[in-house]
């Protein structure tokens, strides 16, 4: 069933979906005291989530919210998936350092993220750098959020400076459009900027730097620069930002007889992320633009993952202009540097796939998927949990054909021998994955034509993300096996919905607590739907009858 047909079903069966949401809500457990505290100060990255309100076009389409926020630390996203042979309604749960519902104001977000505290620490320590990064689908309020943050930061950069020091603040604003970079404050406007890496630092040839003497002057320059940022109309937003903007504020504080204090604050408004299926429907110019954007977002993710790795892994910050510009956020030598990520999502039925993609993107930054692992540990039974690291060649090939259809013609390159499994792809970085797809394999019966390879390139960031998600499941299982040893607790196995001509039949068995798939972050109540989408209550009773202890 197509995405549009899936959305149509969800809109037409609001009563079934909202009934599921209420049943899931009844399974919530109160958070422990330490789970409701403010985010820790000694970690390099904190992740926050902001939910925008339903907009007029959502109401016009009859849409409603699929998102529930619990105690500002957990977000529950209901994801109905309908197929020709039936479907399911499940809820996935994510945790974060702070979650702000659609009723939260920009001041609530700013105060909840403790940006004032971070700015104070930046201004009181030489060499410290704070980066604030907004990520999300087009039309979810990233620019709205970063604009409000810029207004407060402009004031606090002056207000919280060290007493008895002379403060000098400079500003530059860089725009990254695909493979090109521009100065948003240059005269004449939009002069190109060459970004390069030299001596372990990012160099900006042609980027102007402007002195600002007051908070008003700082804000006026920010507004002037961002008004020149490239925008294009999209289905979600008439003036969607199609580029990354980086507002860089450098603060130098001087006092006679004391060393200078030099620090920096970066506020990054990323271009709106788009799914590959949406990219393919755009004009050739937009397709190239979106491919470049997705490549830079994939590079950013690789750098943050490497920064958080327990191993001393290489951080590939030179791989993209965006990551070069944000090099300070990944610098493991500067342990006091801080990155605050705010993921902006829509609660609407119309945007459910994009909202889940946003949450999956930021999950490796900080979210631990503790709920999924804890669910497995409670189960203490791993025999029927599928470990993708053990998949055979045939199973790996089938997965690629089913879940990565745009590169299925490159299977011989991805799995070069009959003993290859999909696990061999897990360690690859995004550039390495792209290179593998473009390199002919010895056992190829017939090499794909150049047009096929070029068309597949647009899908590589999304498919690389799928591989990383599979790898994360394997790691979750390792932890669960380590921590879950000992006497097993009760295991409930439920038949999933195999449906033929509207009649429920016993299908494959999943190991899960109350029908949950713990490796997918699913929590609470799961509904199975019959093929006609209306026999869900009958099917639920059948599944209960088929439970085995």
Question: pLDDT tens digit string along 448-473?
Answer: 877 777 778 878 888 888 888 777 76
Distance of CA 491 to the CA centre of its chain: 32
455 and 538 part of one domain: yes
For 103-117, how does the pLDDT look when each residue is reduced to its tens digit (9 = 90+)? 999 999 999 999 999
Distance CA 335, CA 317 (A): 16
For 360-391, how does the pLDDT look when each residue is reduced to its tens digit (9 = 90+)? Answer: 888 666 433 344 344 334 444 444 456 788 88
Q: Are residues 28 and 79 in the same domain?
A: yes
How many residues are given for the chain?
Answer: 549
What three-state secondary structure class fits 241? strand
3-state SS class at 441: coil
Distance (Å, whole) CA 130 – CA 125: 11
Q: Which residue has the higher pLDDT, 133 or 275?
A: 133
Write down the pLDDT at residue 156. Answer: 93
Q: Kindly report the number of other CB atoms within 10 A of residue 305's CB atom.
A: 16
Same domain flag for 369 and 394: no
Asked if the model's pLDDT at residue 480 lies above 70, the reply is no
Per-residue pLDDT, 386: 62
- pLDDT(416) > 70: yes
Domain co-membership, 515 together with 480? yes
Residue pair 339/115 in contact by the 8 Å Cβ criterion: no
Assess whether 454 and 520 both reside in one domain.
yes
Report which DSSP code applies to 440: P
* Share of residues in the chain with pLDDT > 70 (%): 72
Number of domains in the chain: 3
- Does the pLDDT value for residue 355 go beyond 50? yes
More confident residue, 546 or 91: 91
Q: What is the dihedral of CA 378, 45, 106, 150, to 10 degrees?
A: -170
Q: Does a structural domain hold residue 502? A: yes
Do 6 and 93 reside in the same domain of the chain? yes
Q: Is residue 463 included in any domain, yes or no?
A: yes
Comparing CA positions, the residue from 411, 518, 416 lying closest to residue 463 is 411
**If we measure between CA atoms, which residue out of 293, 512, 282 comes closest to residue 381?**
512
DSSP state of 188: S
Residue with the bigger pLDDT between 324 and 8: it is 324
- The answer, yes or no, to whether residue 542 has pLDDT greater than 70, is no
Residues 31 and 87 in one domain: yes
Do 511 and 539 lie in one domain? The reply is yes
Query: How does residue 51 score in pLDDT terms, banded at 50, 70 and 90?
Result: very high
State the DSSP code for 386. Answer: -
Residue 492 lies in a domain: yes
Q: Is residue 180 part of a domain?
A: no
Query: Does some domain include residue 184?
Result: no
CA–CA dist 279, 291 (Å, integer): 8
pTM: 0.71
> In which domain, by residue range, is 365 found?
1-47+72-101+352-381
The pLDDT value recorded for residue 520 is: 54
What mean pLDDT do residues 92-112 have?
A: 92
Q: What is the pLDDT averaged over residues 75-93?
A: 78
Q: Which of 219-233, 234-248, 283-297, 373-387 has the lowest mean pLDDT?
A: 373-387
Task: Indicate whether 96 and 3 sit together in one domain.
Answer: yes
323 located within any domain: no
| Residue 76 resides in a domain | yes
Residue 362 domain-assigned (yes or no): yes
Share of the chain above pLDDT 90, in %: 31
Closest CA to 546 of 504, 486, 518, 517: 504
Residue 478 sits in the same domain as residue 520:
yes
If asked whether residues 490 and 534 sit together in one domain, one would say: yes
Q: What is the pLDDT of residue 546?
A: 39
Q: In terms of DSSP bridges, do strands 240-241 and 231-232 run parallel, antiparallel, or are they unpaired?
A: antiparallel
Query: 459 with 506, same domain?
Result: yes
pLDDT for the residue numbered 219: 93
Q: What is the mean pLDDT of residues 538-546?
A: 40
């Amino acid at each position: 069933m197509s995405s549009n047909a899936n959305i149509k079903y969800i809109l037409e069966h609001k009563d079934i979906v909202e009934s599921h949401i209420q049943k899931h809500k009844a399974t919530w457990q109160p958070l422990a005291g330490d789970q409701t505290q403010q985010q820790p100060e000694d970690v390099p990255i904190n992740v926050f989530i902001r939910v925008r309100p339903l907009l007029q076009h959502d109401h016009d389409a009859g849409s409603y919210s699929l998102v529930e926020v619990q105690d500002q630390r957990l977000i529950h996203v209901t994801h109905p998936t309908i197929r020709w042979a039936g479907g399911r309604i499940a809820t996935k749960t994510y945790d974060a350092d702070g979650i702000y519902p659609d009723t939260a104001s920009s001041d609530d977000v700013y105060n909840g993220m403790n940006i004032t505290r971070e700015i104070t620490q930046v201004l009181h320590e030489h060499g410290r750098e704070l980066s604030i990064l907004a990520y999300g689908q087009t039309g979810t309020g990233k620019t709205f959020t970063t604009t409000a943050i810029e207004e407060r930061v402009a004031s606090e950069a002056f207000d919280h400076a060290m007493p008895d020091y002379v403060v000098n603040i400079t500003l530059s604003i860089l725009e990254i459009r695909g493979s090109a970079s521009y100065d948003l404050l240059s005269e004449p406007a939009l002069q190109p900027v060459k970004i390069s890496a030299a001596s372990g630092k990012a160099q900006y040839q042609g980027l102007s730097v402007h002195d600002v003497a007051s908070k008003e002057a700082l804000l006026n320059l920010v507004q002037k620069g961002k008004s020149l940022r490239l925008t294009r109309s999209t289905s979600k937003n008439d003036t969607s930002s199609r580029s990354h903007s980086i507002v860089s504020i450098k603060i130098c504080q001087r006092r006679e007889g004391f060393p200078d204090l030099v620090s920096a604050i970066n506020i990054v408004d990323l271009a709106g992320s788009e799914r590959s299926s949406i990219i393919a429907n755009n004009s050739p110019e937009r397709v190239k633009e979106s491919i470049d954007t997705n490549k830079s977002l994939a590079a950013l993710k690789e750098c943050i993952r490497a920064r958080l790795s327990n191993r001393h892994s290489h951080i590939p910050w030179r791989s993209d202009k965006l990551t070069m510009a944000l090099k300070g956020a990944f610098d493991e030598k500067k342990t006091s540097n801080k990155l605050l990520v705010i993921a902006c999502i829509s609660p609407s039925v119309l945007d459910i796939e994009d909202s889940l993609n946003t949450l999956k993107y930021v999950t490796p930054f900080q979210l631990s998927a503790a709920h999924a692992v804890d669910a497995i540990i409670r189960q203490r039974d791993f025999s029927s949990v599928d470990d993708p690291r053990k998949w055979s060649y045939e199973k790996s090939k089938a997965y690629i054909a089913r879940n990565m259809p745009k590169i299925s013609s490159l299977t011989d390159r991805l799995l070069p021998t009959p003993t290859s499994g999909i696990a061999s792809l897990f360690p690859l970085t995004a550039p390495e994955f792209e290179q593998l797809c473009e390199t002919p394999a010895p056992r190829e019966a017939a090499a794909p034509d150049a047009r096929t390879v070029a068309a597949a390139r647009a899908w590589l960031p999304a498919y690389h993300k799928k591989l990383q998600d599979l790898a994360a499941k394997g790691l979750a299982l390792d932890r669960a096996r380590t921590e879950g040893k000992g006497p097993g607790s009760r295991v409930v196995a439920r038949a999933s919905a195999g449906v033929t001509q509207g009649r429920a039949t016993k299908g494959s068995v999943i190991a899960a607590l109350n029908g949950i798939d713990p490796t997918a972050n699913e929590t609470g109540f799961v509904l199975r739907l019959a093929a006609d989408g209306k026999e869900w209550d009958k099917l639920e009773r059948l599944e209960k009858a088929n439970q085995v202890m």
